Chains A and B, each alone.
Chain A
Amino acid sequence: MNDAAACAPLTPASFKSSYKPIWCPGCGDYSVLSSVTKALAMIGQPPEKVAVVSGIGCSSRIPAYTTCYGFHGVHGRALAAATGLKVARPDLTVLVAGGDGDGYSIGGNHFLHACRRNVDLTYIVMDNHVYGMTKGQPSPTTEPDWDSKLSPGGTGVRSFHPLVIALASGANFVARAFSGDPNGTADIIAQAIRHPGFSFIEILSPCVTFRPEQREWKQLVHPAPVQQTDDPGRAARRIMTDDGFNIGVLYAGERPPYPLGKAKTPTAVADLEAEFAL
């Protein structure tokens, strides 16, 4: 980017890189990428002030498809890397992105603790209920009877409920979005970025290759019928009893975020040795 470009008004295109995604035709993640770039244009921070951090999986390829600073780390650890980055560099806007296997299975512990730590991050999970990159194994959000080569006849294990887990663990903003509604999703992402603390967005993003039946999601999704709440009890009840296709901001809390910032007047390093001196 040259200086002239830096001064130009920021549009979604300002945040879209020239790299061609590896995603299959029809993948929901294309729309999520478009929603992310739209949201970043709404936020208005220049791309170099934004970092997009991810782990491993189809959706985790997203950092390089933006013009922001990207960090494509190891499987399941995106939230940890992003936490370190944000705490060390509070001036940056930090987005974390990945899939359901990355976030809820191998990264499950980090998910819990990122929610309770409440560092000012925005976490976008593109949930397609399957491990796509390894060609079709059940993830934590897969239905228990979904047949696959690795778990013939289904896992028999109940599926994970990320939204209520996030809420119970202390996430400060909890929303569900649908990749088939890129403008609505962009809006939710922008709200999430603006909301202080840890914001979590579960985006239903179909894998048409391994879960072709997810093409039906566009018929199933519907806007959340009631207003968002800052009462976690009400939000939990709603999330636990809805049909899983309720789209919108389901909870926006007031919990103070993890404190970031530096000592006002740092001590000289050499002063630290006073405690050793006899």
Chain B
Amino acid sequence: MHAIATKMTKDAAAQPARGAAPSLSVALAGSGGSGVMTAGNLLVDAAARAGLYGLMVRTSGPQIRGGEAAALLRLSPTPVATLDDGFDVLLAIDWQNVGRFFDEIPLTRTSVIVGDPDEGVVPDVYTATGARFAPVPLKKMAKAIAGSWTNMVALGVAGALAGVPRAALEAALRASWKRADDKLAANLAALDAGMQAAAAISGVRALAATGRSGAGRWNVSGNEAAGYGAIRGGVRFVAAYPITPATELLEWMAPALVKVGGTLLQAEDELASINMIVGASYGGVPSLTATAGPGLALMTEGIGLAVSAEVPIVVVDVMRGGPSTGIPAKSEQSDLSFAVSGLTGDAPRIVVAPTSIADCLATTQWAVHLAEALQAPAIVLSDQFMGQSRAIIDRPADEALVGERLTAAANAPDYKRYRDTASGVSPMAVPGTPGTVYTADGLEHTEAGIPSSQPRDHRLQLDKRARKLALYDFGDRWADVEGDLAADAAVITFGSTTAAVREAVARLAAEGTTVRLLALRLLAPAQPPKLAKALAGVTRVLVIEQNHGGQLLHWLRAAYDLPGRPAGFHRPGPLPLRPGEIAEAILAWRNA
């Protein structure tokens, strides 16, 4: 697979753009503490101020601090939600262990490697790509300007190569400055030195000026967007246990919740956090937790309780490589099977997946809305790629999706918490309400909530819990249906892979090969009539996802009638699926 990807990368580089807007990809790498993440963040911020869109993916070695790190950037005058096939520029502040990023930073013979000749030689793996080396003595240049830092010289080089104007770089630097002003002047001088050094480097196609500013746009990570979406949806209680790569979502929510009158509580483990949110939501407060695979595994018991006791909760799973502890800081779409099927008993649940960093906001907000409306658990499948990456996006539209729970009125006559209603949703009494006391129960129960092992009660409640999800109208948000709507071939994907598939489909369309594209946002419950309509006229489908076993393909085959013989293109993380390899896979499948 990798050989194909590399070949595709070279082909793609040989035919730049292919109808798409130009973009520039820059990797900033170095050992921990060299400041590459700071430089990367400043470059994205500056690019945004210059009217560009951008994406910055963070990657690091296994060490918590002090290991190697890289900021992977893609900048463009049009929105970017995925990395490109390769990088135009690799700028290394030093080479200590940076060779480890070889698979994550594909280079071609048209790429340029900028490195400090005093900080070691370029690793063979990079020179073997045929990329050209442009030495810049970053450290010496910084030393020559008292009080300046090497990474600011690097920022100047990278910024100039990308075509980001000096004024924007300076504005970004000033905005982030928290120290004494004399050092600001030194680092602005370092920035200039870097920009001058870049003038001597040829072969990088800088982006053209956009003539606009970043006004009206956001600089946001998927984790932050999900946290904000949750609060917009009405979440006011969060309990959680720290876990990579979900921690930043929680750290963003902790102060934000306090501001809006809510609370975040750090639990002793995930068993506690899931039960805490079930308890809080039973108390009438929309509640959420965020975790990753290992935490989700511990939470299944509590999610099952939320199914049985009909307590709305939202669980954001920021997926990482699995199984078990897996690859904590790298992305993979491999919790899908667990999310859609991993509970004991017949346990209807909602599973949604955002399709981009920007969509983390709306989809998490939707999840709160659905959980509250259906009094059921909703799992949001984000992933490390979306969660920990930052993007410059247009401010998302305001969504009128706020959780609205059907509650019982005080002294409601003949109140039964689990009454068998036509919709399956029954009024939930909020503690404090007089005349409607009941006991919420994880045991099977009667309509009144009293434990029961009677076959009639079990059947009635199973039917009720299934019916409320089956009868609900999930609207148009269930999937994005796009591409060539007349094509007889369709690709189906979900989650963060959507952006790469979208770009691959656009590239192929520019070359005359068209397909229909379905990006599923609602993974469970399955929507057979909606899918059948979206696939009308389609005779073949290809399912694209980032995991080893083809989990989406298996789920779709189990839950839907798909046309023809469904095919899959899937490979595991930690590397993101790239547009080039997807385009090649679609082409091979179309021509098969």
Contacts and interface: CB of A to CB of B under 8 A. Distances in A.
Interface stretch (B185-193, B426-434, B540-548): B426-434
Interface string A88-123: 110110000000000000000110110000000000
Interface in A8-65: 19, 46-49, 51, 53, 61, 63-64
B230 to A, nearest CB: 11
A150 interface: no
Nearest to B286: A88
A69 B442 contact: no
A254 B231 CA distance: 36
A68 B283 contact: no
A92 B431 contact: yes
Given A273-B228, A276-B219, A84 B437 contact: no
Question: In the complex, which of the residues B274, B281, B431, B438 has the most CB atoms of chain A within 10 Å of its own CB atom?
Answer: B431
A41 to B, nearest CB: 16
B399 to A, nearest CB: 12
Contacts of A278: 45, 48-49, 213-219, 392
Contact of A88 (B217, B279, B436, B451): B279
A84 B271 contact: no
A134 interface: no
For the complex of A and B, list the 8 residue pairs with the smallest distance between their C-beta atoms, beginning with the closest.
A70-B439, A84-B276, A84-B279, A81-B279, A88-B280, A278-B214, A80-B275, A266-B261
Contact of B271 (A63, A80, A112, A266): A80
B588 interface: no
Contacts of B450: 19, 64
Given A69-B437, A73-B442, 9 more contacts: A1-B434, A19-B450, A53-B279, A70-B438, A83-B276, A84-B276, A109-B269, A268-B260, A278-B217
A226 interface: no
Contact of A269 (B231, B263, B435): B231
Interface stretch (B102-110, B131-139, B301-309, B478-486): B301-309
A85 B280 contact: yes
B218 A276 contact: yes
Interface string B174-212: 000000000000000000000000000000000000000
B342 interface: no
Interface of B: 45, 48-49, 213-220, 224, 228, 231-232, 236-237, 239, 256, 258-263, 265, 267-269, 271-285, 287, 301-302, 304-305, 309, 392, 395, 411, 429, 431-443, 449-451
23 contacts: A6-B434, A19-B450, A46-B434, A48-B433, A51-B431, A64-B450, A73-B305, A80-B271, A80-B274, A83-B279, A84-B237, A84-B283, A84-B287, A87-B276, A88-B287, A89-B284, A89-B431, A112-B268, A113-B272, A266-B259, A272-B259, A273-B228, A278-B214
Contacts of A92: 283, 431-432
A152 B162 CA distance: 74
A266 B260 contact: yes
Contacts, number: 189
A84 B429 CA distance: 17
A53 B272 CA distance: 14
Interface string A204-234: 0000000000000000000000000000000
A71 interface: yes
A110 B285 contact: no
A110 B272 contact: yes
A241 interface: no
Contacts of A49: 431-432
Given A80-B279, A88-B237, A74 B301 contact: yes
Contacts of B433: 48
Contacts of B451: 61, 64, 72
Contacts of B284: 88-89
Contact of A87 (B213, B214, B237, B441): B237
A84 B277 contact: yes
Contact of B440 (A2, A46, A71, A112): A71
A87 B265 contact: yes
Interface in A253-277: 262-263, 266-269, 271-273, 276-277
Contacts of B268: 109-110, 112-113
A82 B280 CA distance: 8
Given A83-B276, A88-B279, A48 B437 contact: yes
Nearest to B431: A69
Contacts of B436: 48
